[in-house]
Amino acid sequence: MRNNLIPATKQRVASKAEARVQEAPIAYEPSSSAPTTRNQTARNSQNQPITPDLNAPLVEEQRITPVQPELESSVRFYTPQGTEPVDSARPEPVEGQPQQINYNPDVLTCLANLSNDEIFTPPELANQMLDLLPAELWQNPEAKFLDPVTKSGVFLREIAKRLNAGLAEQIPDLQTRLNHIFTQQLYGIAITELTSLLARRSVYCAKKANSPYSICTAFTTEQGNILFSRIDHTWNNGKCTYCGASEKEYARDAGLESHAYQFIHTDQPQNLFGKDMKFDVIVGNPPYQLGDGGAGTSATPIYQLFVKQGIKLNPKFLLMITPARWFSGGKGLDDFRKDMLNDRCIREIHDFPDASTIFPGVQIKGGICYFLREKEQEGLCRVSSYSAEKLVSKMERPLLEKDADSFIRYNEAISVVKKVKKANEKSIMPQISSRKPFGLSTTYKGKSQVFENAIKLYQNGGVGYIAGDVITTNLEIIHKFKVLIPRAGSGSDSFPYPILGKPFVVEPNSACTETYIVAGNYDNKAQANNLASYIRTKFFRFMVLLTKSTQDASSKVYKFVPIQDFTQSWTDERLYQKYGLTPEEIAFIESMIRPMELASDE
């Protein structure tokens, strides 16, 4: 039913060429004798009718003399799979002669992203996702496809290629076939007015669907089946009731984009294209987050709203790209995580811990993933993990392991977690402090000079001194040895990396701001040092990695870390032996976690 995924590389699989249209790049531009009525045929400078030739050679484009500046650039409507890209077939340079370069890139590979939250999907990635769908879909003239977050139109364009090939025998006439595909099978909802024009240009070869230059001659409206309507947010107490956007940030004039996305700002998405519209496939790459009016760059995730709305429409297949933060929950995502991990219709997840692997130049903390949901096929999920554009592991397993409440993203970690759980030890999480161990925010600053009865304060940027009555919580641990860890962990997504900041032991009569968390408190320094040695092990930080999807290291990321006897110090070698890890399991941990040096006083 489902094809194996091709890793995100430049390679193409020739066997899948039959599943897509064998076509040439078509430059669909109007001639000087362009038709003045809707149903006339485009003609060239010799007044000869122009018919798109799907079997023309790949290198040379068919060009018609343009008359409108906005249509001067050619539109590559088809590119056959299983062939080398045009730009790779360059002639060898001849000494003494200027080199001729025939370079015809797919324009959708050349677009800059709108932002880190509204990212264009590369055509190659779109095709890898579509490869997960059953091949018989492309031969079904009744199948309906929706991209509810259309930006460049890449998903609709690539679907059109496949349908054009798959329906060639059932609808032999090319124009009749294209008209059927575009009017009866492909639907999109653009996220902005600009992307609606771009998507129509990519899909219909004209920014107006009913233009004489559109390759579909059956539309009577400018939008065709790629809709855009400027929607206003519905404000209640300063927040949008649909998406949670901040009224302060997004209550804008009519001339500005509101970012009130049409698909999620309605209670009846099934009526956007007519009453009770049914779709076989919903596919897309939704916007990821919106500013919520909080401090700094605070933002609220919204991609889960598109997924939920897609599920609400009950398609046979739901295929979406999202940040991977939902694996472990977090801000606004806990309920969504629970729903997803308990949904046995999620049949495939393709996980990229480093988002730049598939979105070059883009950093998304926690990585990126895409998933396939099949309404009628419950079962285990096939989890594919990638590193540096390569598929490194694949495993069919439950999304929710026994006694876990978050998704363990690394297949290689499953056996390690099971061995640790088999030891039946308690988690260290209960002894990890809350966000503000002593009730002091990260912006709080103590006095620079020590004074009588002062408490030493470990704060952002160094140390200060405060009076005891400033502290409102955890008064009982002020006079104990404590192990502090920076609350913000490593910001890198490239492996190996530290996962956590360096722990350090602080003396009695001390406290800290929100910059740090307290990992443990003891009456003697030896036990505190032993906890610090445990935190520095790769084993400890690997167990944290399994639930840490962002830079923030709150107490919940320590859920899988087992507590130890801190009357003794710990090393990786002792821990590996204690839990009976295999050389392969050890090698994986070592490949993921960077060594952490000891503090200078230990």
Beta-carbon contacts of 22 under 8 Å, excluding residues fewer than 6 positions away, are: 54, 55, 80, 165
Low-confidence ranges of the chain (pLDDT < 50): 1-45, 49-91, 103, 116, 599-602
- Residues 6 or more apart whose CB falls under 8 angstroms from that of 113 comprise 119, 120, 359, 361, 362
Residue type, 567: T
Give the domain extent around 277.
231-409
Q: With 0-12 CB in 10 A as exposed, 13-18 as middle and 19+ as buried, what is 570?
A: buried
Measure the CA–CA gap between 110 and 96, rounded to whole angstroms.
Answer: 32
Task: Give the integer Cα–Cα distance in Å for 222 and 150.
Answer: 16
In the structure encoding, which two tokens stand for residue 580, read together? 């009976």
Q: In this predicted model, what pLDDT tens digit does every residue of 504-538 receive, in sequence order?
A: 999 999 999 999 999 999 999 999 999 999 999 99
Q: Count other C-beta atoms under 10 Å from residue 586's C-beta.
A: 17
* 377/449 same-domain check: no
In this structure, the answer to whether residues 282 and 325 fall within a common structural domain is: yes
Contact yes or no for 322/316 (Cβ under 8 A) = no
Radius of gyration of the chain (CA): 29
Position 223 in a domain: no
Let me know if residue 7 belongs to a domain. Answer: no
Same domain, 561 and 505: yes
Helix (H) or strand (E) holding 196: helix 193-204
Last residue of a domain, one of 361, 381, 409: 409
Same domain, 241 and 305: yes
- 448 and 542 part of one domain: yes
Burial (CB < 10 A; 0-12, 13-18, 19+), residue 10, is exposed
Kindly report the three-state secondary structure assignment for every residue of 12-26. CCHHHHHHCCCCCCE
- Whether omega for the bond prior to residue 496 falls within 30 degrees of 0, making it cis, is yes
- Looking at the structure, do residues 463 and 498 belong to the same domain, yes or no? yes
Q: What is the pLDDT at residue 491?
A: 52
Query: Which tokens belong to 515?
Result: 């910059």
Burial grade of 103 (CB within 10 A; 0-12, 13-18, 19 or more): exposed
- In whole angstroms, give the CA distance from residue 68 to residue 213: 11
Q: Are 487 and 550 in contact (CB under 8 A)?
A: no
Q: Residue 477 carries which DSSP code?
A: G
| Closest to 159 (Cα-Cα) out of 191, 126, 190 | 126
Nearest to 27 by CA among 48, 47, 52, 45: 52
Listed residue (376, 391, 601, 570) closest to 505, CA to CA: 601
In-domain check, residue 80: no
- pTM > 0.85: yes or no: no
In a domain, 371, yes or no: yes
Please check whether residues 494 and 379 belong to one and the same domain: no
Q: Is residue 359 domain-shared with residue 399, that is, in the same domain?
A: yes
Give the count of domains, the chain.
2
Residue 277 · residue 315 · CB < 8 Å? no
Please name every residue paired with 419 in a beta bridge, in sequence order, or none if there are none: none
- What pLDDT was estimated at residue 32? 29
344 and 469 belong to one structural domain: no
pLDDT at 449: 93
- Distance between CA atoms of 466 and 451, rounded to whole angstroms? 8
pLDDT for the residue numbered 567: 94
Contact 484, 503 (CB under 8 A): yes
- What is the helix, strand, coil percentage profile of the chain, to 5? 25, 20, 55
Q: Which two tokens stand for residue 499?
A: 């996962």
Q: What is the DSSP string of 56-92?
A: S-SSSPB-----SGGG-S-------TTS--GGG-PPP
**Structure confidence at residue 363 (pLDDT):** 77
Identify whether residues 510 and 448 lie together within a single domain.
Answer: yes
CATH of the domain at 383: 3.40.50
**Does residue 434 share a domain with residue 353?**
no
Q: How many CB atoms lie within 10 A of CB 94?
A: 9
| Residues 212/35, Cβ–Cβ less than 8 Å | yes
**Euclidean distance between the first and final Cα of the chain, in Å?**
58
Note whether 500 and 545 are same-domain residues. yes
- CA 12 to chain CA centroid, Å, is 23
C-alpha triplet 412, 415, 416: angle, nearest 5°: 90
Residue 321 lies in a domain: yes
Residue 428: what pLDDT? Answer: 94
How many Å apart are CA 118 and CA 261, to the nearest integer? 12
Token digits of residue 579: 């839990």
The answer for 590, left when phi > 0, alpha when psi is -120 to 50, beta otherwise, is alpha
Q: Is 235 exposed, middle or buried (0-12, 13-18, 19+ CB in 10 A)?
A: middle
- Cβ atoms of 128 and 285 within 8 Å: the answer is no
Count how many Cα atoms sit within 13 Å of the Cα of residue 12 in the half-sphere of its side chain: 17
Q: Given this model, what pLDDT does residue 396 score? A: 95
- What is residue 112's predicted lDDT score, i.e. its pLDDT? 56
* Tokens linked to 107: 């324009």
Q: Which residues contact 300 (CB under 8 A, 6 or more apart)?
A: 244, 245, 289, 290, 291, 292, 331, 332
- What distances in angstroms separate CA 386 from CA 192, 353, 399, 400, one per listed residue? 32, 7, 17, 20
Task: Evaluate whether residue 139 is within a structural domain.
Answer: no
Helix (H, G, I), strand (E, B) or coil at 538: helix
Is 265 part of any domain? yes
Residue 85 lies in a domain: no
